[in-house]
Each structure stands twice: as C-alpha cells, then as structure tokens.
C-alpha cells in the first residue's frame, strides 16, 4: 500500500504555541493551555488525572513520591531500561532492586518479582520496553497481595494495548515522556497519570505540589498560585518538600497539538516496524521482540535479538550501514553493570553512600549474574528506528535490512 509523508509538527502545534506567545507569558493572561493539555491527555489515556512535568525523569520521581516511597524503601524494577527508571529510585533515597526479564519479550518477569519482595518493598516500577507492556495482570495481582504500588514507566509506549486496556491505565500511576525521540514530543516534557483508586485524588494533589515547590494552594486541578495569594506577605507558601518540575506552557502547547494527531504518529511507527518484521521474514537468527496475542506493540523501535554467535553485533551494524542503513542502536547496559551502581554495596561515594545509610537489611549485590537473562539479551538487541515520516525512507531501510540478512544467509 502506497504511503506518503506525514508531518510530525504541523498547524495544530503552531496554532497553540501562538496562543501562548500572545499572552507574553503573563499568568494574568494565561490561555489555560496547560490545563487543557492535562485534561485531554488524561481522557486519551483513560486516567483520572494527568499532571504535566518538565521531562520524563521528573515524572518518575514525582510518581515514586506519590506512591509513598521514602528513604530506605525498596523499589523492584527491570535492569533492562533507560537510567531514569532506576536513578529516580535513588533520587527518592530508596533502593533499586532488579528482577530479571523474559527472554523473548524483554519485559520484567513477574515470577522473579515475587521472589524479591521483602518487608521494605514499597513499589514496583514496570517498563513498557520498546512499546510493549509486560504481563500487567500478574504484576497487579502480586502488588495487591503484598500491598504494593505499581508505577508504569511508559516513556516508550503510547496507545499500545494490554488485553484490550490502554497501557498506562493499569497501574496505580504511569509516567510518559515527551522527549524528542518519543512517539509524541514537545522537545521535552512528561506527564504522570493517576489512575482510578481510593487514593487517586490524594496522590494527584501530592504530585502537583511535589512538582511545584510544595506550594500549599496547588492541587490536581490547580497548577498556578493565584495573584491574590502570592502577593500577600502572610501567605504561607510551602507546606511540603517539592521540586521545580512543572512543564512550560510552550511545551504544553506543542504537546496538545501532538496529542491531536497521536494516532497517526503511532501508526507510522507500527507500519515501519512491520516493514522490518517482513524483511526479517523466516530468518532463524534475527528474532524480533515477541508481542503476545493479548497485547499490541506501539514500536518506539523495532528490537530484535541477534542470536548467531559467529556474527558480532558491531559487525552486523557495520554491514547494514555499508549497504546504506541509517544505523542501529544497542540497548542500555544492564543497570547494575553501570559504573555508578557496580560497586554500590561497597560504600563508595555519592548516592552509593545513601544506599548504605538509609537501608537496613541485606542488599542485592550489583554484580554479574544477578539477572542472567537480561545480561544475555542486552548484548543481542539490535534496535531499528521506526520514526520514518517519509514512507519511502522506511521502505528503503527495510530493503537494506533484507539485503544484510541475505549477505549472512538465513
């Protein structure tokens, strides 16, 4: 089927940005774009509330705070993820605990989660890696049994479904990123979604105040302090700890425009990924991320495992690029093998000291062999771009992939 070019940034985004610029950034002239964006995002993702942030790292920190994670608590997460997932646990003075992954989906393994729960465990942070959700029903059942909060890190997953439900509407909280490479982008930015529960309103209020310096009069529905309050010398401003994490109205304007054609942006990535999957065909040694029948994948990237021992990862990438390929991304080093965490249990410096000082009990040893499946998969993953707004480029890249596979033989 013939597909043409689509515009990532179009008239909608420019229209809303112009609305903001006409206000001269004066709060008294605000066009309410931030509130409009938050409400529209919450509706799109079936959430009770959405609260906009400066980026998708702030969102995770705020979500952890709202989930009640405090110094010395443990948060179980995957080691196969971008650094923000586990670094924000350290920002909360808590301890990241790593559960291994399922080999063919690359997602956190619920069976491994359950074995890691201790009296200090407070939350589970899942990651919808490359656009696919983990087994959320199993994870939510574990969380309910042990009275844990679940935070969905969906930086790479927009509009995918898990058993008919939109990813991001299943956990207690979910985090989205609007960084420049994501399905929808405002250049930077992020949102925390709060899903239906008995404490949804309290969590949303806490997230708002935590993200705007702990201001007293802010709430889930109110993102600005009134002029009447702020001008009073008797106004007691700060009632809790908070950070300056709020999103700018310019980013909200672009985000609102992106949201209005998000289905188109996501579909282009899915179509591009399917081109690559077709190019891989029946190749026995290049295995795309498995999407279970009960899930859909929004394909932030098309990730595949290179399982032939006689083809080094770097050699395959080099040959692909020699044939005209755009390049292939590897995945991040397994979290606990990063220099910052590698020797954390040996009390080095900085945040590693925090781990020792705030945690009473036996620590996980961040060393090779902790999550053997994740360690193996991390070395194999080839991640192909899917953000081809010009369809002819996507077709060309798929042909180049097919040629590269043929070079090595099926």
Q: What is the predicted pLDDT for the residue at 354?
A: 55
The pLDDT of 202-213, averaged and rounded, is: 94
Domains identified in the chain and CATH numbers: 11-260 (3.40.640.10), 263-331+373-408 (3.90.1150.10)
- Strands (DSSP E) contained in 278-368 are 286-288, 301-306
Phi-psi region of 199 (alpha: psi -120 to 50; beta: other; left: phi over 0): alpha
Identify the band that residue 5 occupies on the pLDDT scale cut at 50, 70 and 90.
very high
Nearest C-alpha neighbor of 38 from the set 263, 214, 261, 249: 249
Higher pLDDT, 161 or 27: 161
The pLDDT value given to residue 346: 47
The whole-number average pLDDT for the span 368-375 is 97
Predicted confidence band of residue 7 (pLDDT cuts 50, 70, 90): very high
Q: What is the pLDDT of residue 34?
A: 96
The reported pLDDT for the residue numbered 84 is 98
Radius of gyration of the chain (CA): 22
Q: What percent of the chain has pLDDT over 70?
A: 93
Orientation of helix 83-91 relative to helix 58-66, angle to 10°: 50
What local confidence, expressed as pLDDT, does residue 353 receive? 58
Phi, psi of 197 (to 5 degrees): -165, 175
Q: What is the mean pLDDT of the chain?
A: 93
Q: What is the DSSP letter of 335?
A: G
SS3 321: helix
Residue 214 has pLDDT above 90, yes or no: no
Q: What band does 359 get if pLDDT is binned at 50, 70 and 90?
A: low
Question: Which pLDDT value is given to residue 1?
Answer: 47
Q: What is the reported pLDDT for 2?
A: 57
pLDDT at 363: 79
pLDDT band (50, 70, 90) for residue 344:
low
pLDDT for the residue 349: 45
Residues 42, 50 contacting (CB under 8 angstroms): yes
Confidence of residue 222 (pLDDT cuts 50, 70, 90): confident
């Amino acid at each position: 089927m013939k597909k043409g070019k689509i515009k990532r940034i179009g008239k909608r985004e420019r229209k809303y940005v112009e609305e903001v610029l006409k206000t001269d950034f004066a709060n008294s002239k605000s066009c309410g774009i931030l509130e409009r964006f938050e409400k529209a995002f919450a509706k799109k993702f079936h959430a009770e509330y959405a609260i906009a942030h400066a980026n998708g790292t702030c969102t995770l920190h705020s979500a952890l705070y709202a989930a009640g994670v405090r110094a010395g608590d443990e948060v179980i997460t995957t080691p196969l993820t971008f650094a923000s997932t586990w670094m924000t646990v350290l920002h909360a003075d808590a301890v990241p605990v790593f559960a291994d992954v399922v080999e063919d989906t690359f997602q956190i393994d619920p069976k491994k989660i359950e074995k890691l729960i201790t009296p200090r465990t407070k939350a589970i942070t899942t990651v919808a890696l490359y656009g696919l959700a983990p087994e959320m029903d199993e994870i939510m059942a574990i969380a309910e049994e042990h009275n844990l909060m679940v935070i969905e890190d969906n930086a790479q997953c927009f509009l995918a479904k898990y058993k008919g439900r939109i990813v991001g509407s299943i956990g207690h909280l979910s985090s989205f990123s609007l960084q420049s490479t994501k399905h929808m982008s405002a250049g930077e930015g992020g949102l925390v979604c709060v899903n239906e529960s008995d404490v949804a309103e309290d969590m949303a209020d806490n997230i708002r105040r935590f993200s705007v310096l702990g201001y007293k009069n802010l709430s889930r529905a109110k993102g600005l302090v009134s002029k009447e309050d702020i001008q009073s010398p008797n106004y007691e401003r700060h009632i809790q700890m908070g950070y300056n994490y709020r999103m700018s109205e310019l980013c909200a304007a672009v985000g609102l425009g992106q949201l209005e054609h998000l289905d188109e942006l996501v579909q282009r990535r899915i179509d591009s990924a399917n081109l690559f999957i077709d190019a891989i065909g029946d190749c026995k040694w290049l295995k795309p991320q498995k999407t279970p029948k009960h899930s859909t994948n929004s394909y932030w990237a098309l990730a595949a495992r290179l399982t032939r021992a006689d083809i080094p990862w770097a050699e395959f990438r080099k040959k692909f690029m020699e044939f005209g390929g755009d390049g292939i991304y590897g995945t991040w080093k397994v979290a606990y093998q990063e220099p910052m965490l590698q020797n954390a249990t040996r009390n080095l410096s900085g945040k590693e000291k925090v781990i020792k000082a705030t945690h009473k009990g036996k620590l996980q040893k961040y060393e090779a062999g902790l999550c053997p499946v994740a360690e193996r998969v991390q070395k194999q993953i080839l991640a192909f771009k899917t953000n081809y707004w010009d369809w002819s480029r996507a077709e060309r890249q798929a042909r180049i992939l097919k040629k590269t596979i043929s070079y090595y033989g099926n």
